[in-house]
Amino acid sequence: MGNFTTMSYNVRNIIRSKAFNLKRKKTKAQQDQIVKMTLLAEVYRSFGGITDQGFVENSKGKSAYNLYVSANFNSAFDLTGEVPVISYPLLLASKGTLPRVRVSEGVLVSEGIRVIFSSNLSLPYVSESDHIIAFARTTDGELRMAIQIRGSEETGSILIPLPDLIVGEVVCCYVFARSADGKKSSNSVYVELIG
């Protein structure tokens, strides 16, 4: 009836109402907040759940999505234009207490993207059994990921399989580490590519 509905939930009667006249956000600041939230949600969906593997350290019962938004809402945007836009080098695809992966370079090869990194085994909390996760998204929406063990070598490399690619076709590329038990992760590192 009118603008309300009723329902029963756990032997309780609940009444919900919907506003007749919605008040849209009017100020520039309010509109910018809506745009930022929309952009973050779109990027989260475009990463296909990979960020859920990077936001695993959760002591307060928040979801991986909530942790992702919290980590990026105030810092992952270029605000120099009329409307906010995502700045991929500032965006965190993972956040945690493990030391960041130290990337030497990201190179386009015929098989895809090869990311060369230092193992950093001398740092606390770093283990040979950690997983290195690398992923890239292309302009046509293709998403590719690679996972491998960190290993004991001083330097390592990981290949993201994207054959016959050029630098202009890559929207973003990230690398992060996750512990073997999946309970800890590092902050992600944005990889600058050289062709």
- What long-range pairs does 32-37 form, CB within 8 A, spacing at least 24? 32/79, 32/83, 32/84, 35/83, 35/84, 36/73, 36/77, 36/84, 37/69, 37/73
**CATH number for position 121:** 2.60.40.10
pLDDT band per the 50, 70, 90 thresholds, residue 19: confident
Please count the structural domains in the chain. Answer: 1
Q: What are phi and psi of 132, to 5 degrees?
A: -100, 125
CB 120 within 8 A of CB 135: no
Contact 187, 176 (CB under 8 A): yes
Residue 171 has pLDDT above 80, yes or no: yes
Distance CA 55, CA 64 (A): 5
Higher pLDDT, 1 or 177: 177
Has residue 99 been placed in a domain?
yes
Domain membership flag for residue 17: no
Q: What is the pLDDT of residue 21?
A: 73
Write down the pTM of the prediction.
Answer: 0.84
Which DSSP state fits 53? H
- Domain containing 48 equals 28-194
Question: 136 — phi, psi (to 5°)?
Answer: -140, 150
Taking the C-alpha atoms of residue 148 and residue 158, their distance in angstroms, rounded to an integer, is 7
Dist CA 76 CA 65 (whole Å): 15
Q: pLDDT digits over 72-106, tens only? A: 999 999 999 999 999 999 999 999 999 999 999 99
Q: Residue 55 is encoded by which pair of tokens?
A: 């936001």
Quick check: is 10 in a domain?
A: no
| Domain membership flag for residue 23 | no
Q: Is residue 5 part of a domain?
A: no
pLDDT at 53: 93
The answer to the question of residue 118 being in a domain is yes
Residue 187 confidence class, pLDDT cut points 50, 70, 90: very high
Q: Comparing C-alpha atoms, which of 90, 84, 3 is closest to residue 36?
A: 84
Please indicate, yes or no, if residue 153 is contained in any of the structural domains: yes
* pLDDT tens per residue, range 102-148: 999 999 999 999 999 998 888 899 999 999 999 999 999 999 999 99
Q: List, for residues 5-15, the tens digit of each pLDDT value.
A: 888 877 788 88
Is 55 within a domain?
yes
Angle at 137 between CA 131 and CA 140, to 5 degrees: 155
